[in-house]
Amino acid sequence: MADSADSLTLVPAGRNMPRHVAIVMDGNGRWAKRRGLPRVIGHQAGVKALERTIDYARDLGIRYLSVYAFSTENWKRAHSEVQGLMGLFRYYLKGKIGQMHRRGARVRFAGQMSAFPDDILSIVESAEEMTRENTAIDVIFCVNYGGRQEILDAIAGLIRSGHEGPVTEDVLRRHLYAPDIPDPDLLIRTGGELRISNFWLWESAYSEYYFSDVYWPDFGREELARALDSYAGRERRYGSA
């Protein structure tokens, strides 16, 4: 879907804007298949969609943007596809972090990072350190991430800490991957699937959901604006009448 200046009018002026938007970026492979292209080309197109989405979210004043970039289940994909994704990860972090830094974005990561090669871990550390003081937008890349695994890791961390006394939500939350980040207000999934696929299971308990039929490489300003417009028209009750 092409972006246009007119699409900006879809954003609800003066209405409710989510503080934290989370996105399941789905549909890269199917986008490529429809065009008779290798899946890795779909992932490359997905990177471009991510770049424009980060810029647009920042310009709108969205404070936190988290994206499901690589799940714990993605290791099961074909070796060639996994290696292609690792290559894209290296390319993006090396080539784009400076640009994100100049535009005021803080880059963060959530997931079991120890599973990645040392060179990627070094790039991740450098990216987080370079952008640590930025305040325009926090971009959280969820990589080797699984919601169930996060909860298990939080429980293990709680046990290791020797905590005594009641285990409350606040106590457990302190052991999640990113405890200082507010829960997603709006969770978007592209690609036409109606599930969240193990993403932010604890954190999304009261999130609003928006499902888009658009494949991720075609996601842009207009579709993000539609999601925000849908969110603005909802009343969040958190279980109240």
User: So which residues are the catalytic ones?
Assistant: 26, 74
The model's confidence at residue 236, banded by pLDDT at 50, 70 and 90, is confident
Q: Among 41-50, 71-80, 206-215, name the one with the lowest average pLDDT.
A: 71-80
CB 22 within 8 A of CB 67: yes
Nearest alpha carbon to residue 66 among 134, 144, 140 = 140
Buried b or exposed e, range 195-215, using 16+ CB within 10 angstroms: ebebbbebbbeebbbbbbebb
Q: What digits encode the pLDDT tens for the residues 83-106?
A: 888 888 888 888 889 999 999 999
Q: What digits encode the pLDDT tens for the residues 124-169?
A: 999 999 999 999 999 999 999 999 999 999 999 999 999 999 999 9
Q: What is the pLDDT of residue 92?
A: 83
The domains found in the chain, sorted by start residue, are 16-187+197-226 (3.40.1180.10)
pLDDT at 73 > cutoff 70 = yes
Cα-to-chain-centroid distance, residue 53: 11
Q: What is the pLDDT of residue 137?
A: 98
Q: State the alpha helices, DSSP H only, in 25-173.
A: 28-34, 39-60, 79-102, 118-131, 147-160, 169-173
Q: What digits encode the pLDDT tens for the residues 46-71?
A: 999 999 999 999 999 999 999 999 99
pTM (predicted TM-score): 0.91
